[in-house]
Structure 1
Protein backbone atom coordinates (compact mmCIF):
# COMPACT_ATOMS: atom_id res chain seq x y z
CA UNK A 1 0.00 0.00 0.00
CA UNK A 2 1.39 3.41 -1.00
CA UNK A 3 1.83 5.84 1.88
CA UNK A 4 -0.05 9.08 1.26
CA UNK A 5 0.12 12.35 3.15
CA UNK A 6 -2.51 15.03 3.60
CA UNK A 7 -1.26 18.57 2.93
CA UNK A 8 0.46 20.00 5.99
CA UNK A 9 1.74 16.62 7.17
CA UNK A 10 5.50 16.05 7.41
CA UNK A 11 6.14 13.56 4.62
CA UNK A 12 9.92 13.43 4.30
CA UNK A 13 13.15 14.16 6.12
CA UNK A 14 16.66 14.32 4.79
CA UNK A 15 20.14 14.92 6.10
CA UNK A 16 22.55 17.39 4.59
CA UNK A 17 25.95 16.14 5.77
CA UNK A 18 29.51 17.40 5.53
CA UNK A 19 30.60 13.76 5.04
CA UNK A 20 28.03 11.72 3.15
CA UNK A 21 29.99 8.46 3.23
CA UNK A 22 30.55 8.67 6.98
CA UNK A 23 26.89 9.55 7.56
CA UNK A 24 25.76 6.55 5.52
CA UNK A 25 27.96 4.29 7.62
CA UNK A 26 26.80 5.81 10.91
CA UNK A 27 23.06 5.67 10.28
CA UNK A 28 23.39 2.26 8.70
CA UNK A 29 24.97 1.05 11.92
CA UNK A 30 22.41 2.74 14.17
CA UNK A 31 19.17 1.96 12.33
CA UNK A 32 20.09 -0.79 9.88
CA UNK A 33 19.55 1.54 6.93
CA UNK A 34 20.99 0.94 3.47
CA UNK A 35 21.71 3.77 1.03
CA UNK A 36 20.68 3.94 -2.62
CA UNK A 37 22.94 6.36 -4.48
CA UNK A 38 20.78 8.05 -7.11
CA UNK A 39 23.74 8.81 -9.36
CA UNK A 40 25.48 11.94 -10.70
CA UNK A 41 22.28 13.58 -11.94
CA UNK A 42 21.05 13.72 -8.33
CA UNK A 43 24.02 15.77 -7.12
CA UNK A 44 25.23 13.17 -4.64
CA UNK A 45 21.77 12.63 -3.14
CA UNK A 46 20.74 9.17 -2.00
CA UNK A 47 17.82 7.41 -0.34
CA UNK A 48 18.04 5.57 2.96
CA UNK A 49 15.97 2.39 3.03
CA UNK A 50 14.77 0.20 5.86
CA UNK A 51 13.58 -3.27 4.88
CA UNK A 52 13.55 -2.05 1.28
CA UNK A 53 11.32 0.96 1.97
CA UNK A 54 12.32 4.61 1.65
CA UNK A 55 12.71 6.24 5.07
CA UNK A 56 14.91 9.33 4.60
CA UNK A 57 17.29 11.13 2.27
CA UNK A 58 21.00 11.93 2.44
CA UNK A 59 23.01 14.46 0.49
CA UNK A 60 25.93 16.86 0.78
CA UNK A 61 25.43 19.82 3.11
CA UNK A 62 24.86 22.87 0.91
CA UNK A 63 24.56 25.68 3.47
CA UNK A 64 27.74 26.38 5.45
CA UNK A 65 25.73 28.26 8.09
CA UNK A 66 23.74 25.10 8.88
CA UNK A 67 26.51 22.52 8.63
CA UNK A 68 25.19 18.98 9.02
CA UNK A 69 21.48 19.08 9.78
CA UNK A 70 18.21 17.23 9.31
CA UNK A 71 15.42 18.90 7.32
CA UNK A 72 11.68 18.41 7.70
CA UNK A 73 9.45 18.55 4.60
CA UNK A 74 5.72 19.26 4.68
CA UNK A 75 3.41 17.75 2.08
CA UNK A 76 1.62 20.17 -0.22
CA UNK A 77 -0.39 20.06 -3.42
CA UNK A 78 1.08 23.41 -4.54
CA UNK A 79 4.55 24.40 -3.38
CA UNK A 80 4.37 27.71 -5.24
CA UNK A 81 1.29 28.65 -3.23
CA UNK A 82 3.15 27.70 -0.04
CA UNK A 83 5.99 30.03 -1.06
CA UNK A 84 3.55 32.91 -1.48
CA UNK A 85 1.96 32.23 1.90
CA UNK A 86 5.37 31.99 3.59
CA UNK A 87 6.28 35.46 2.36
CA UNK A 88 2.87 36.89 3.24
CA UNK A 89 3.14 35.45 6.76
CA UNK A 90 6.57 36.81 7.64
CA UNK A 91 8.79 33.94 6.54
CA UNK A 92 11.56 33.87 3.96
CA UNK A 93 12.11 31.85 0.79
CA UNK A 94 15.60 30.33 0.97
CA UNK A 95 15.34 28.15 -2.13
CA UNK A 96 12.59 29.05 -4.59
CA UNK A 97 10.25 26.30 -5.80
CA UNK A 98 12.03 23.97 -8.20
CA UNK A 99 11.41 20.66 -9.91
CA UNK A 100 13.43 17.67 -8.74
CA UNK A 101 13.52 15.67 -11.96
CA UNK A 102 10.22 13.74 -12.11
CA UNK A 103 10.22 13.06 -8.38
CA UNK A 104 8.41 16.19 -7.21
CA UNK A 105 8.69 19.91 -6.62
CA UNK A 106 10.28 21.45 -3.54
CA UNK A 107 11.28 24.66 -1.82
CA UNK A 108 13.15 25.65 1.34
CA UNK A 109 12.04 28.37 3.74
CA UNK A 110 12.61 29.91 7.14
CA UNK A 111 9.74 30.80 9.44
CA UNK A 112 9.59 34.15 11.31
CA UNK A 113 11.73 32.63 14.09
CA UNK A 114 14.49 31.80 11.61
CA UNK A 115 13.81 28.05 11.64
CA UNK A 116 14.43 26.19 8.38
CA UNK A 117 11.77 23.92 6.89
CA UNK A 118 10.89 22.62 3.45
CA UNK A 119 7.81 21.76 1.41
CA UNK A 120 7.40 18.83 -0.96
CA UNK A 121 4.85 18.58 -3.76
CA UNK A 122 4.88 14.91 -4.74
CA UNK A 123 5.59 13.58 -8.19
CA UNK A 124 6.83 10.01 -8.37
CA UNK A 125 8.25 10.41 -4.87
CA UNK A 126 5.37 10.62 -2.39
CA UNK A 127 7.48 10.72 0.76
CA UNK A 128 8.57 8.20 3.36
CA UNK A 129 7.27 4.70 2.64
CA UNK A 130 7.70 3.52 6.23
CA UNK A 131 6.82 5.57 9.32
CA UNK A 132 6.12 4.95 13.00
CA UNK A 133 8.02 1.67 12.90
CA UNK A 134 11.47 0.94 14.35
CA UNK A 135 14.10 2.60 12.21
CA UNK A 136 11.72 5.13 10.65
CA UNK A 137 10.41 8.65 11.20
CA UNK A 138 7.81 8.93 13.93
CA UNK A 139 7.62 12.61 14.97
CA UNK A 140 8.71 16.14 14.01
CA UNK A 141 9.00 18.85 16.63
CA UNK A 142 9.56 22.59 16.38
CA UNK A 143 11.65 24.43 18.96
CA UNK A 144 10.89 28.11 18.38
CA UNK A 145 11.83 31.41 20.02
CA UNK A 146 8.17 32.53 19.91
CA UNK A 147 5.58 29.78 20.23
CA UNK A 148 2.55 31.98 19.59
CA UNK A 149 4.09 33.46 16.44
CA UNK A 150 5.10 30.00 15.27
CA UNK A 151 1.60 28.63 15.75
CA UNK A 152 0.08 31.49 13.76
CA UNK A 153 2.61 31.10 10.95
CA UNK A 154 2.08 27.38 10.37
CA UNK A 155 -1.68 27.82 10.62
CA UNK A 156 -1.53 30.44 7.86
CA UNK A 157 0.92 28.61 5.60
CA UNK A 158 -0.36 25.03 5.79
CA UNK A 159 -3.85 25.41 7.24
CA UNK A 160 -2.84 23.47 10.33
CA UNK A 161 -4.84 23.76 13.52
CA UNK A 162 -3.16 23.93 16.92
CA UNK A 163 -4.00 22.42 20.28
CA UNK A 164 -2.18 23.27 23.49
CA UNK A 165 -1.51 20.29 25.75
CA UNK A 166 1.19 21.74 27.99
CA UNK A 167 1.06 22.34 31.71
CA UNK A 168 2.44 24.82 34.24
CA UNK A 169 5.91 23.33 33.84
CA UNK A 170 6.10 23.20 30.05
CA UNK A 171 4.31 24.72 27.07
CA UNK A 172 3.59 22.27 24.26
CA UNK A 173 1.37 22.55 21.21
CA UNK A 174 0.16 19.92 18.78
CA UNK A 175 -0.08 20.84 15.11
CA UNK A 176 -2.99 18.96 13.59
CA UNK A 177 -4.48 18.09 10.21
CA UNK A 178 -8.21 17.38 10.39
CA UNK A 179 -7.93 16.79 14.14
CA UNK A 180 -4.99 14.38 13.82
CA UNK A 181 -1.66 15.37 15.42
CA UNK A 182 1.10 15.51 12.82
CA UNK A 183 3.82 17.48 14.66
CA UNK A 184 4.60 19.31 17.87
CA UNK A 185 5.89 22.74 18.84
CA UNK A 186 7.44 24.15 21.99
CA UNK A 187 9.46 27.16 23.13
CA UNK A 188 13.19 26.68 22.61
CA UNK A 189 14.96 26.13 25.91
CA UNK A 190 17.58 28.70 26.84
CA UNK A 191 20.84 27.93 25.07
CA UNK A 192 19.25 25.34 22.80
CA UNK A 193 19.04 25.78 19.02
CA UNK A 194 15.79 26.64 17.28
CA UNK A 195 15.01 23.95 14.73
CA UNK A 196 12.64 21.31 13.46
CA UNK A 197 13.79 18.13 15.21
CA UNK A 198 13.31 14.63 13.82
CA UNK A 199 12.43 11.62 15.98
CA UNK A 200 13.05 8.07 14.80
CA UNK A 201 11.22 5.14 16.37
CA UNK A 202 13.28 2.37 17.96
CA UNK A 203 12.58 -0.94 19.69
CA UNK A 204 14.94 -0.24 22.59
CA UNK A 205 15.96 3.35 23.32
CA UNK A 206 18.85 2.49 25.64
CA UNK A 207 20.31 -0.08 23.27
CA UNK A 208 20.17 2.18 20.21
CA UNK A 209 21.51 5.11 22.25
CA UNK A 210 24.51 3.03 23.33
CA UNK A 211 25.10 1.87 19.76
CA UNK A 212 25.04 5.46 18.48
CA UNK A 213 27.61 6.51 21.09
CA UNK A 214 29.77 3.54 20.15
CA UNK A 215 29.68 4.71 16.52
CA UNK A 216 30.79 8.23 17.40
CA UNK A 217 27.64 10.15 18.31
CA UNK A 218 27.58 12.66 21.15
CA UNK A 219 24.91 12.73 23.82
CA UNK A 220 22.64 15.75 24.16
CA UNK A 221 20.04 14.12 26.40
CA UNK A 222 20.44 10.56 27.71
CA UNK A 223 17.47 8.18 27.67
CA UNK A 224 14.60 9.28 29.87
CA UNK A 225 10.95 8.43 30.24
CA UNK A 226 8.13 10.70 29.12
CA UNK A 227 4.41 10.10 28.55
CA UNK A 228 4.89 9.50 24.77
CA UNK A 229 7.74 7.06 25.42
CA UNK A 230 11.39 6.66 26.39
CA UNK A 231 13.54 9.00 24.30
CA UNK A 232 17.04 10.39 23.88
CA UNK A 233 18.66 13.16 21.84
CA UNK A 234 21.99 12.74 20.06
CA UNK A 235 24.31 14.47 17.62
CA UNK A 236 25.83 12.39 14.86
CA UNK A 237 29.61 12.46 14.23
CA UNK A 238 29.24 15.30 11.70
CA UNK A 239 27.06 17.43 14.00
CA UNK A 240 23.51 16.56 12.92
CA UNK A 241 21.05 16.44 15.83
CA UNK A 242 18.36 13.75 15.94
CA UNK A 243 16.20 12.01 18.51
CA UNK A 244 15.15 8.42 19.10
CA UNK A 245 12.06 7.20 20.93
CA UNK A 246 10.55 3.92 22.04
CA UNK A 247 6.91 4.88 21.61
CA UNK A 248 4.46 4.19 24.41
CA UNK A 249 1.59 2.35 22.67
CA UNK A 250 -0.85 3.44 25.39
CA UNK A 251 -0.14 7.16 25.01
CA UNK A 252 -2.95 9.29 23.58
CA UNK A 253 -3.54 13.03 23.35
Structure 2
Protein backbone atom coordinates (compact mmCIF):
# COMPACT_ATOMS: atom_id res chain seq x y z
CA UNK A 1 0.00 0.00 0.00
CA UNK A 2 1.19 3.51 -0.74
CA UNK A 3 1.89 5.29 2.57
CA UNK A 4 2.40 8.71 0.97
CA UNK A 5 1.99 11.51 3.48
CA UNK A 6 3.71 14.21 1.41
CA UNK A 7 0.45 16.14 1.14
CA UNK A 8 1.25 18.47 4.03
CA UNK A 9 4.17 20.17 2.36
CA UNK A 10 3.01 23.64 1.46
CA UNK A 11 -0.31 23.97 3.25
CA UNK A 12 -1.02 27.68 3.29
CA UNK A 13 -4.58 28.62 2.35
CA UNK A 14 -7.08 29.96 4.85
CA UNK A 15 -9.88 27.99 3.17
CA UNK A 16 -10.73 24.83 5.04
CA UNK A 17 -12.02 21.39 4.19
CA UNK A 18 -15.38 22.42 5.65
CA UNK A 19 -16.07 24.38 2.46
CA UNK A 20 -15.56 21.47 0.03
CA UNK A 21 -15.96 18.41 2.24
CA UNK A 22 -16.22 15.06 0.51
CA UNK A 23 -14.46 16.32 -2.63
CA UNK A 24 -10.90 15.62 -3.78
CA UNK A 25 -8.68 18.44 -2.52
CA UNK A 26 -5.10 17.32 -3.27
CA UNK A 27 -2.98 14.65 -4.97
CA UNK A 28 0.45 13.41 -3.98
CA UNK A 29 3.13 11.09 -5.35
CA UNK A 30 5.64 8.84 -3.65
CA UNK A 31 8.81 8.40 -5.71
CA UNK A 32 12.32 7.02 -5.33
CA UNK A 33 14.42 9.73 -6.96
CA UNK A 34 13.43 13.35 -6.39
CA UNK A 35 15.61 14.83 -9.14
CA UNK A 36 14.45 12.31 -11.74
CA UNK A 37 10.80 12.88 -10.72
CA UNK A 38 11.16 16.64 -11.04
CA UNK A 39 12.77 16.33 -14.47
CA UNK A 40 10.12 13.91 -15.73
CA UNK A 41 7.07 15.94 -14.71
CA UNK A 42 8.69 19.21 -15.77
CA UNK A 43 9.16 17.75 -19.24
CA UNK A 44 5.75 16.05 -19.49
CA UNK A 45 3.44 18.49 -17.66
CA UNK A 46 5.50 21.69 -17.58
CA UNK A 47 5.60 21.82 -13.79
CA UNK A 48 7.96 23.94 -11.72
CA UNK A 49 8.97 23.23 -8.13
CA UNK A 50 9.41 24.71 -4.70
CA UNK A 51 10.63 23.13 -1.44
CA UNK A 52 8.19 21.34 0.83
CA UNK A 53 7.92 21.87 4.58
CA UNK A 54 8.68 18.26 5.54
CA UNK A 55 12.33 18.30 4.48
CA UNK A 56 14.64 17.89 1.51
CA UNK A 57 12.82 14.81 0.18
CA UNK A 58 9.63 16.77 -0.50
CA UNK A 59 8.58 19.22 -3.20
CA UNK A 60 5.45 21.10 -4.23
CA UNK A 61 4.61 21.01 -7.93
CA UNK A 62 3.47 24.31 -9.45
CA UNK A 63 1.43 24.83 -12.63
CA UNK A 64 1.31 28.47 -13.73
CA UNK A 65 2.53 29.36 -10.26
CA UNK A 66 -0.27 27.53 -8.42
CA UNK A 67 0.36 24.47 -6.20
CA UNK A 68 -1.10 21.35 -7.82
CA UNK A 69 0.55 18.32 -6.19
CA UNK A 70 2.93 17.09 -3.53
CA UNK A 71 5.96 14.89 -4.25
CA UNK A 72 7.79 12.82 -1.65
CA UNK A 73 10.94 10.83 -2.58
CA UNK A 74 10.42 8.39 0.28
CA UNK A 75 9.34 5.17 -1.45
CA UNK A 76 12.62 3.36 -0.83
CA UNK A 77 13.33 4.78 2.62
CA UNK A 78 9.83 4.04 3.93
CA UNK A 79 9.30 0.89 1.83
CA UNK A 80 6.24 2.32 0.08
CA UNK A 81 4.70 1.79 -3.31
CA UNK A 82 5.45 4.30 -6.05
CA UNK A 83 2.01 5.72 -6.83
CA UNK A 84 -0.26 8.74 -7.08
CA UNK A 85 -2.77 9.13 -4.24
CA UNK A 86 -5.83 11.42 -4.12
CA UNK A 87 -6.87 13.11 -0.86
CA UNK A 88 -10.47 13.95 0.04
CA UNK A 89 -11.52 16.90 2.18
CA UNK A 90 -13.26 15.91 5.43
CA UNK A 91 -14.65 17.80 8.41
CA UNK A 92 -13.11 15.31 10.85
CA UNK A 93 -10.26 12.97 9.93
CA UNK A 94 -10.89 10.86 13.02
CA UNK A 95 -14.57 10.42 12.22
CA UNK A 96 -13.90 9.61 8.56
CA UNK A 97 -11.21 7.05 9.43
CA UNK A 98 -13.58 5.39 11.91
CA UNK A 99 -16.30 5.22 9.25
CA UNK A 100 -13.87 3.53 6.85
CA UNK A 101 -12.95 0.85 9.36
CA UNK A 102 -16.56 0.31 10.43
CA UNK A 103 -17.45 -0.41 6.78
CA UNK A 104 -14.67 -2.91 6.14
CA UNK A 105 -11.91 -0.60 4.91
CA UNK A 106 -8.47 -0.25 6.50
CA UNK A 107 -6.34 2.53 7.98
CA UNK A 108 -2.69 2.38 6.93
CA UNK A 109 -1.46 5.64 8.45
CA UNK A 110 -3.12 7.95 10.94
CA UNK A 111 -5.04 9.99 11.49
CA UNK A 112 -2.00 12.04 12.46
CA UNK A 113 -1.52 15.75 13.09
CA UNK A 114 0.21 17.66 10.30
CA UNK A 115 -0.38 21.30 11.30
CA UNK A 116 -2.56 23.04 10.36
CA UNK A 117 -4.63 19.86 9.96
CA UNK A 118 -4.95 16.12 10.29
CA UNK A 119 -4.48 13.41 7.68
CA UNK A 120 -4.82 9.68 7.20
CA UNK A 121 -4.05 7.18 4.47
CA UNK A 122 -6.80 4.59 4.02
CA UNK A 123 -7.99 1.82 1.72
CA UNK A 124 -11.53 0.87 0.74
CA UNK A 125 -12.97 -2.64 1.02
CA UNK A 126 -11.38 -3.66 -2.30
CA UNK A 127 -7.94 -2.27 -1.49
CA UNK A 128 -7.99 1.02 -3.42
CA UNK A 129 -5.80 3.53 -1.56
CA UNK A 130 -6.88 7.10 -0.82
CA UNK A 131 -6.16 9.81 1.71
CA UNK A 132 -8.22 12.22 3.78
CA UNK A 133 -7.37 15.72 4.92
CA UNK A 134 -8.96 17.89 7.60
CA UNK A 135 -7.94 21.50 7.92
CA UNK A 136 -6.71 24.40 5.78
CA UNK A 137 -6.52 23.60 2.07
CA UNK A 138 -3.18 23.56 0.30
CA UNK A 139 -4.27 26.30 -2.07
CA UNK A 140 -7.52 27.97 -3.06
CA UNK A 141 -9.77 25.09 -4.15
CA UNK A 142 -11.03 26.80 -7.29
CA UNK A 143 -7.46 27.64 -8.29
CA UNK A 144 -6.40 24.03 -7.73
CA UNK A 145 -9.38 22.75 -9.72
CA UNK A 146 -8.44 24.86 -12.73
CA UNK A 147 -4.65 24.46 -12.53
CA UNK A 148 -5.07 21.24 -12.02
CA UNK A 149 -5.74 17.58 -11.85
CA UNK A 150 -8.80 17.37 -14.10
CA UNK A 151 -10.48 14.72 -11.98
CA UNK A 152 -9.86 11.32 -10.42
CA UNK A 153 -11.36 7.99 -11.45
CA UNK A 154 -11.83 4.86 -9.36
CA UNK A 155 -11.41 1.65 -11.32
CA UNK A 156 -13.08 -0.99 -9.19
CA UNK A 157 -14.98 -4.28 -9.30
CA UNK A 158 -18.42 -2.91 -8.40
CA UNK A 159 -19.08 0.79 -8.99
CA UNK A 160 -22.43 0.79 -7.22
CA UNK A 161 -21.00 -0.83 -4.07
CA UNK A 162 -18.01 1.54 -4.11
CA UNK A 163 -20.29 4.57 -4.45
CA UNK A 164 -22.24 3.46 -1.37
CA UNK A 165 -18.99 2.94 0.59
CA UNK A 166 -17.53 6.34 -0.24
CA UNK A 167 -20.91 8.04 0.02
CA UNK A 168 -21.27 6.88 3.62
CA UNK A 169 -17.71 7.99 4.44
CA UNK A 170 -17.95 11.44 2.87
CA UNK A 171 -21.68 12.22 3.18
CA UNK A 172 -22.14 12.35 -0.58
CA UNK A 173 -25.66 13.32 -1.67
CA UNK A 174 -26.64 13.92 1.96
CA UNK A 175 -28.34 17.26 1.40
CA UNK A 176 -26.46 19.88 3.47
CA UNK A 177 -24.95 22.82 1.63
CA UNK A 178 -21.47 22.05 0.35
CA UNK A 179 -21.78 18.28 0.06
CA UNK A 180 -21.08 16.50 -3.20
CA UNK A 181 -23.75 15.30 -5.61
CA UNK A 182 -23.83 11.79 -7.08
CA UNK A 183 -25.22 11.01 -10.52
CA UNK A 184 -25.30 8.01 -12.83
CA UNK A 185 -24.08 8.56 -16.39
CA UNK A 186 -24.17 5.41 -18.49
CA UNK A 187 -21.97 2.85 -16.76
CA UNK A 188 -20.28 5.33 -14.41
CA UNK A 189 -21.03 6.91 -11.07
CA UNK A 190 -20.18 10.62 -11.32
CA UNK A 191 -19.34 12.89 -8.38
CA UNK A 192 -19.89 16.63 -8.68
CA UNK A 193 -18.83 19.39 -6.30
CA UNK A 194 -20.17 22.91 -6.84
CA UNK A 195 -21.25 21.83 -10.32
CA UNK A 196 -17.87 20.44 -11.45
CA UNK A 197 -17.14 16.77 -12.10
CA UNK A 198 -14.43 15.89 -9.56
CA UNK A 199 -14.48 12.08 -9.56
CA UNK A 200 -15.81 9.12 -11.50
CA UNK A 201 -16.30 5.49 -10.44
CA UNK A 202 -16.39 2.75 -13.04
CA UNK A 203 -16.54 -1.03 -13.16
CA UNK A 204 -18.31 -1.77 -16.45
CA UNK A 205 -22.08 -1.99 -16.73
CA UNK A 206 -23.66 -1.18 -13.37
CA UNK A 207 -26.02 -4.11 -13.64
CA UNK A 208 -23.33 -6.66 -14.46
CA UNK A 209 -21.48 -8.92 -12.05
CA UNK A 210 -18.33 -7.48 -10.43
CA UNK A 211 -15.20 -8.02 -12.53
CA UNK A 212 -12.70 -10.15 -10.53
CA UNK A 213 -9.88 -9.19 -12.91
CA UNK A 214 -9.94 -5.49 -11.95
CA UNK A 215 -7.25 -4.34 -9.49
CA UNK A 216 -9.06 -1.49 -7.74
CA UNK A 217 -7.19 1.81 -7.74
CA UNK A 218 -7.71 5.54 -8.01
CA UNK A 219 -6.31 7.03 -11.23
CA UNK A 220 -5.35 10.73 -11.35
CA UNK A 221 -6.19 12.56 -14.62
CA UNK A 222 -4.26 15.74 -15.43
CA UNK A 223 -5.70 18.25 -17.90
CA UNK A 224 -3.26 19.09 -20.71
CA UNK A 225 -3.35 21.02 -23.97
CA UNK A 226 -1.60 18.39 -26.12
CA UNK A 227 -2.03 14.71 -25.20
CA UNK A 228 0.30 13.42 -27.94
CA UNK A 229 3.10 15.79 -26.92
CA UNK A 230 2.84 14.59 -23.31
CA UNK A 231 3.04 10.96 -24.44
CA UNK A 232 6.16 11.66 -26.54
CA UNK A 233 7.79 13.55 -23.68
CA UNK A 234 7.07 10.68 -21.27
CA UNK A 235 8.85 8.20 -23.54
CA UNK A 236 11.82 10.53 -24.09
CA UNK A 237 12.30 10.91 -20.34
CA UNK A 238 12.24 7.26 -19.30
CA UNK A 239 8.51 6.72 -18.90
CA UNK A 240 6.14 4.61 -20.95
CA UNK A 241 2.81 4.92 -22.76
CA UNK A 242 0.24 2.28 -21.80
CA UNK A 243 -2.47 3.57 -24.14
CA UNK A 244 -3.02 6.70 -26.21
CA UNK A 245 -5.78 8.32 -28.24
CA UNK A 246 -6.32 11.86 -29.52
CA UNK A 247 -8.05 12.80 -26.26
CA UNK A 248 -6.33 10.76 -23.57
CA UNK A 249 -3.17 8.83 -22.73
CA UNK A 250 -2.36 6.52 -19.83
CA UNK A 251 1.28 6.97 -18.87
CA UNK A 252 3.85 5.65 -16.42
CA UNK A 253 6.61 7.86 -15.12
CA UNK A 254 10.22 6.73 -14.92
CA UNK A 255 9.58 5.26 -11.45
CA UNK A 256 6.49 3.32 -12.55
CA UNK A 257 3.73 5.54 -11.13
CA UNK A 258 0.69 5.50 -13.41
CA UNK A 259 -1.39 8.57 -14.33
CA UNK A 260 -3.56 9.84 -17.19
CA UNK A 261 -3.39 12.99 -19.27
CA UNK A 262 -6.71 14.21 -20.65
CA UNK A 263 -7.38 16.89 -23.28
CA UNK A 264 -8.25 20.07 -21.41
CA UNK A 265 -11.46 20.59 -23.42
CA UNK A 266 -12.72 17.25 -22.08
CA UNK A 267 -11.52 17.63 -18.51
CA UNK A 268 -14.15 16.45 -16.09
TM-score by length of 1: 0.84
Structure 2 CA distance for aligned equivalents of residues 122 and 147 of structure 1:
29
Q: What SS does structure 1 have at the residue aligned with 2:57? A: coil
The 1:26–1:3 alpha-carbon spacing in structure 2 relative to 1, beyond 3 Å, is farther
Runs (5+) with no aligned partner, structure 2 = 1-12, 174-181, 205-210
Structure 2 CA distance for aligned equivalents of residues 235 and 177 of structure 1:
28
Structure 1 CA distance for aligned equivalents of residues 86 and 20 of structure 2:
15
1:122-133 paired onto structure 2 within 5 Å: 122-123=135-136, 125-126=138-139, 129-133=143-147
Structure 1 CA distance for aligned equivalents of residues 189 and 163 of structure 2:
8
Contact 1:48 1:54 in 2 (8 A): yes
1:157-196 paired onto structure 2 within 5 Å: 157-161=169-173, 162-166=182-186, 171-177=187-193, 180-187=196-203, 193-196=215-218
Structure 1 CA distance for aligned equivalents of residues 66 and 144 of structure 2:
6
The 1:58–1:67 alpha-carbon spacing in structure 2 relative to 1, beyond 3 Å, is same
Aligned length: 237
Structure 2 CA distance for aligned equivalents of residues 50 and 22 of structure 1:
18
Shift of 1:156: 0.3
Residue 207 (1) aligns with residue 229 (2):
yes
Tell me the residue number matched to 1:227: none
Contact 2:94 2:111 in 1 (8 A): yes
Runs (5+) with no aligned partner, structure 1 = 225-229
Aligned match for 1:144, one of 134, 153, 156: 156
Shift of 1:112: 0.6
Structure 2 CA distance for aligned equivalents of residues 204 and 27 of structure 1:
15
TM-score by length of 2: 0.79
Contact 1:104 1:125 in 2 (8 A): no
Q: What SS does structure 1 have at the residue aligned with 2:22? A: coil
Shift of 1:126: 4.7
Shift of 1:177: 4.1
Contact 1:113 1:146 in 2 (8 A): no
The 1:150–1:43 alpha-carbon spacing in structure 2 relative to 1, beyond 3 Å, is farther
